[in-house]
Amino acid sequence: MPKPQPFPIVAFFQRFAQRQTREEVARQFSVISGMETDRRVLSFVAFMVPAAFLPLWLCLLLFILDTGAEIAGFRLMKRLDPPRQPQRYFWMLTGFVVAQALYCAVPVLCWQLPDPMAKSYAIGMTMASLIHITTVRTVHLPLALTGTGVTTLAAALGNSWYWLESGHTIGLLISTLCIVAAAYFALVTMVSVHRLHDETLRESIAARAADQAKSRFLAQMSHELRTPLNAILGMGNAELTQAGTVESRERMAILVQSARGLAVMLDDILDLSAVQAGQLPIRPKALDLRAEIAATVAMFRQQVEDAGLTLRITIHDSVPHHARLDGQRLRQCLSNILSNAVKHTQAGLISVYAYEHQPGVLAIKVADSGPGVPEDLREKIFEPFYRGQLNVPGTGLGMSIARTLARRMGGDLTLLPSVSGAQFLLTLGVETVTKEALPEPEPIAGTTLAGVRVLVVDDIATNRLVAGTYLRLLGAQPVEADSGAQALAQISGPRPPHIVLLDLLMPEMDGVETLRRIRALQGASAGLPVIAMSADSGAPILNDGSGPRFDGQVDKPLSVEGLARVLLPFAAVCGARRVKAKPDLPPDTPGPVDLAKS
CA proximity to 43, closest of 76, 65, 14? 65
| Total number of residues shown for the chain | 598
**Under 8 Å between Cβ of 528 and 497:** yes
CA proximity to 554, closest of 564, 543, 569? 564
- pLDDT by residue for the chain (598 residues), tens digit each? 455 555 567 777 778 888 888 999 999 999 888 888 888 898 999 999 999 999 999 999 999 999 999 999 999 999 999 999 999 999 999 999 999 999 999 999 999 998 999 999 999 999 999 998 988 889 999 999 999 999 999 999 999 999 988 888 898 899 999 999 999 999 999 999 999 988 988 898 888 888 777 767 766 676 677 767 777 777 777 777 777 787 787 777 777 767 776 776 676 666 666 666 666 677 788 888 888 898 888 878 878 888 888 999 999 999 998 899 888 788 888 988 998 888 888 888 999 999 998 889 999 999 998 888 887 777 888 887 666 554 555 556 778 888 888 988 899 999 988 878 889 999 999 988 887 777 655 444 445 788 889 999 998 887 888 888 888 888 889 999 999 999 999 998 888 999 999 988 888 888 889 999 998 888 888 888 999 987 655 454 555 555 678 888 887 777 777 788 888 888 766 654 333 333 333 333 333 323 222 2
d(CA 380, CA 374): 10
Q: Helix, strand or coil for residue 486?
A: helix
**Burial category of 58 from C-beta neighbours within 10 Å (exposed 0-12, middle 13-18, buried 19 and up):** middle
Listed in sequence order, the residues at least 6 apart from 309 whose beta carbon sits closer than 8 Å to its beta carbon are 342, 345, 347, 348, 349, 350
- Pairing of β 552-555 and β 530-534: parallel
pLDDT score for 585:
37
CA–CA distances in Å: residue 563 to residues 305, 433, 447, 537, 578: 28, 31, 14, 14, 18
Alpha-helical (H) ranges within 288-418 are: 289-298, 301-306, 327-344, 398-408
Core vs surface per residue 236-268: b (16+ CB within 10 A) or e: bbbbbbebeeeeebeebbebbeebbeebbebbb
d(CA 394, CA 385): 9
Dump pLDDT digits (tens) for 136-184: 889 999 999 999 999 999 999 999 999 988 888 898 899 999 999 999 9
**Under 8 Å between Cβ of 474 and 583:** yes
